[in-house]
Amino acid sequence: MKIWAHRGCSQLYPENTLLAFEKAMNVKNLTGVELDIQLTRDGEIVVIHDEKVDRTTDGFGYVRDYTLKELKQLHIFAGRGVDTERVPTMKEVIELLLPRMKNDGFMINIELKTSVFNYPGIEEKIVALVDEMGIKDNIVYSSFWAESLVNVHAIDPAAKLGVLDNYVSNCLYKAIGLESMWRDVPNGSIALHPAGIYMDIPAEKFKGRDVRAWFGGHLYPELPTGGKLDVNKYAEKGATDLILNEPDKYLR
């Protein structure tokens, strides 16, 4: 079972921050990190989950209404001896993780947050950045909005894709639909990214696919529950990878 860090090590550190990604980068045998991207008002790619900044920063309003300079003025309380973090750009995250990406194939699962706001041009921008940084082999693109995956494929037909949805059955339906559109994409090659709690069909139906099941759970600053998932249970349900807030608990 491959293990990924969900928004970095997001149980013990603020999600989608350089701090959370640095901690994840230092977890031995971790496959990679999952993160979320959106665009600022001036078209910069930033790493943040919610469409609004209210939950994770001391600001309020939509990410898309801030310029990068304005967004960088917001504080993300980091705690544990660290006064603050800032919303990172995607390039900053890549630069942080690049040594491990080059050394041992460390991966980034980039979720395009385009299901609420489409962010026209975001696919072109992120594919261009990935190409510029020379990390195409280290990237998986995922989205709840299938049109974003269509756009990514049009720009880079070799890009690795993952279909996001809550239920694995919905992921499979979307993946089959996309594969039927493209002659250059073999059946079964698009990964499924369901919520781990909604593995609602038998594993035989999607056998052979990468299935990266994600778990939201508790995020910083909520206290850890002390619980641990039964990895074998999810393997039996067909998961090949788990995307977790506390990946280090499963890789010690």
The CA distance from 251 to 233, in Å, is 17
6 is catalytic: yes
- How many other C-beta atoms are found inside a 10 Å radius of the C-beta of residue 135? 18
Work out the widest C-alpha separation in the chain, in whole angstroms.
53
* Burial label, 117 (beta-carbon count in 10 A; 0-12, 13-18, 19+): middle
The CA distance from 9 to 219, in Å, is 9
Q: Which residue, 139, 142, 88, 87, is CA-closest to 115?
A: 142
**Active-site hit among 49, 75, 153, 193:** 49
Q: How many CA atoms lie within 13 A of 157 on its CB side?
A: 7
Phi-psi region of 119 (alpha: psi -120 to 50; beta: other; left: phi over 0): left
- Could you give phi then psi for residue 5, rounded to 5 degrees? -95, 120
49 is catalytic: yes
The CA distance from 49 to 35, in Å, is 8
**Active-site hit among 6, 75, 153, 193:** 6
| DSSP class of 240 | S
Give the type of residue at 21.
Answer: F
The CA distance from 45 to 154, in Å, is 20
Residues annotated catalytic, as ranges: 6, 49
